[in-house]
Amino acid sequence: MTQSPSNTASMYKMIGNHTFDQFINIATQFHNYPAPGLLIGGYMVEEAKLHIPEGTLYEALSETSWCLPDAIQMLTPCTIGNGWLRIMHFGLFALSLYDKYTGKGVRVWLDLDKIPQASEIMTWLLKRKPKGDQDSDRLRKEIGMFGSDIMSVRTITLQDELLTKRRKGIIARCPVCGEAYPSKHGPICRSCQGESPYVQASSQKASAAFPR
Amino acid sequence: MTQSPSNTASMYKMIGNHTFDQFINIATQFHNYPAPGLLIGGYMVEEAKLHIPEGTLYEALSETSWCLPDAIQMLTPCTIGNGWLRIMHFGLFALSLYDKYTGKGVRVWLDLDKIPQASEIMTWLLKRKPKGDQDSDRLRKEIGMFGSDIMSVRTITLQDELLTKRRKGIIARCPVCGEAYPSKHGPICRSCQGESPYVQASSQKASAAFPR
């Protein structure tokens, strides 16, 4: 492991079947920019996949909402919309893949003890400098050269209560907004219960609907 | 609008630049199967985009975690990992796109008053029959034929407190697990505070780490 990465593309480690440059391209397409956390996340996801037996139906858990969920969505069948990806807001750069029935799998995390102290990765991870002062070119090169060398892996078992399949339950029509909602939320939907994210939701509804 | 969709592919409405069949293919790739909610979501996202002025930097909000977030991630620059997609767990089949600075935008929702009572879409949405008894072929055809006809749109303004940019803040090393975490979470990370999703997290750590 060196702290002075060269420009040679072949010095960059593969992310699964993708070259580092290929992954940068698909990361840019999906995430809109090749964020360092997403590039590192690519190596993390592929590292985790190595430890999951072929043919296992697995789900994923990201311990941060930053970047990592997108690496999971790009490189596994697990997405936030199909319910196979769960996000916990710990702000930890760690993820796990686990058998959806047994909960057994692996956790991969960025290991502070494996990241060279003087590296730009350490500066980025610990935010030792404002983003504008970080050397993004050097950071990217280090990510491609170190690959999974800066991670650790251990086996995990998910807690039983997290293995239950999500269910919508009975669907009703909210008597306030008139939309379909899970009746287990109460007599009216959560948005009408006061959780609406919009300003003056109810008065706007009538006045500003677009004619069709 | 008819309730007896034919087999003719050209009767299906476009989802933005995609034919219905093309969208089914990319939905299958990303989400692993072309779920009805994802196909309807495709039409919803494209309908919302029509009302956002060209060049607007927008963010997205999904009022359900089911399917719809994936339609947003597939058809907009907004993803869960880049922070431009927010999910509220209302179980409402609705989404909004809004100017990230002003919070002004549109909300699109599946409108129960526009969905024909006898349609398979209504059966699916209200879960009038168990999934196995639903006519998935007819359901898909209806989705492609109705397109955005079963939705409504209104203008919205996001509440100010939801427009603040997410920030990690200062990063520290957790004295328990040794990982980097946002110090605003407390003296130790949330996982070590007891929120870990894993069984016996701390004892497993030493015993079951993979040698590298």
B137 found inside a domain? yes
- Let me know whether A40 and A132 are in one domain: yes
Spatial separation of the C-alpha atoms in residues A155 and A98, rounded to whole Å: 9
Residues A153, A176 share a domain: no
ipTM score assigned to the predicted complex? 0.90
* Strand, helix or coil for residue A116: coil
- Which domain does B43 fall in, by range? 9-162
CATH of the domain at B84: 3.30.1330.130
pLDDT at A2: 44
Domain assignment present for residue B2? The answer is no
What's the pLDDT at B210?
58
Same domain, B123 and B187: no
Q: Has residue B76 been placed in a domain? A: yes
- Mark whether A63 and A100 lie in a shared domain: yes
pLDDT at residue A170, as a whole number: 94
Would residue A106 count as lying in a domain? yes
User: Which one of B142, B162, B182 terminates a domain?
Assistant: B162
Closest residue in B to A127 (Cα–Cα)? B171
Show the low-confidence residues of chain B (pLDDT under 70): 1-9, 201-212
Q: What is the pLDDT of residues A24-60, one digit of tens each?
A: 999 999 999 999 999 999 999 999 999 999 999 999 9
Q: Which residues of A touch B204 (CB under 8 A)?
A: 154-157
pLDDT band at A9 (very low <50, low <70, confident <90, very high): low
Determine the pLDDT at residue A8. 54
pTM listed for this prediction: 0.90
A2 falls within a domain = no
Contact A109, B209 (CB under 8 A): no
Q: How far is A179 from chain B (nearest CA, A)?
A: 6
A28 has a chain B CB within 8 A of its CB: no
On whether any CB of chain B is under 8 Å from the CB of A81, the answer is: yes
Question: What pLDDT digit, counting tens, does each position of A114-159 carry?
Answer: 999 999 999 999 999 998 999 999 999 999 999 999 999 999 999 9
Do B72 and B138 share a structural domain?
A: yes
Asked whether residue A116 falls in the same domain as residue A189, the answer is: no
A67 touches chain B (CB under 8 A): yes
Q: Are residues A135 and A113 part of one domain?
A: yes
* DSSP states along chain B: --SS--S-GGGSPPBTTB-HHHHHHHHHHHHSS--HHHHHHHHHHHHHHHTSPTT--EEEEES-SSSHHHHHHHHSS--TTTT-EEE-----SEEEEEETTT-EEEEEEE-TTTS-TTSHHHHHHTT-S-GGGS-HHHHHHHHHHHGGGGEEEEEEEB-GGGSSPP----EEE-TTT--EEEGGG-SS-TIIIII--BTTHHHHHHHSBPP-
Judged by CB atoms closer than 8 Å, whether chains meet at A126 and B171 is answered as yes
User: Which domain-ending residue is among A162, A179, A199?
Assistant: A162
Q: How many domains does chain B have?
A: 2
Contacts of A77 in chain B (CB under 8 A): 32
Candidate from A31, A197, A209 with C-beta closest to B79: A31
pLDDT of residue A212: 45
Structural domain contains residue A80? yes
What's the mean pLDDT in A55-74? 97
> Which of the listed residues B162, B182, B197 is the one where a domain comes to its end?
B162
Q: How confident is the model at residue A5 (pLDDT cuts 50, 70, 90)?
A: very low
**B65 and B126 both lie in a single domain:** yes
B60 and B149 share one domain:
yes
CATH number at residue B180: 3.30.60.80
pLDDT for A201 equals 52
On whether both B71 and B133 belong to a single domain, the answer is: yes
Question: Does residue B117 sit within a domain?
Answer: yes
Tell whether B120 and B56 lie within a shared domain: yes
CB atoms within 10 A of CB B62: 31
pLDDT digit string, tens, across residues A154-211: 999 999 999 988 788 999 999 999 999 999 999 999 999 999 999 975 444 444 455 5
Give yes or no: residues B175 and B111 share one domain. Answer: no
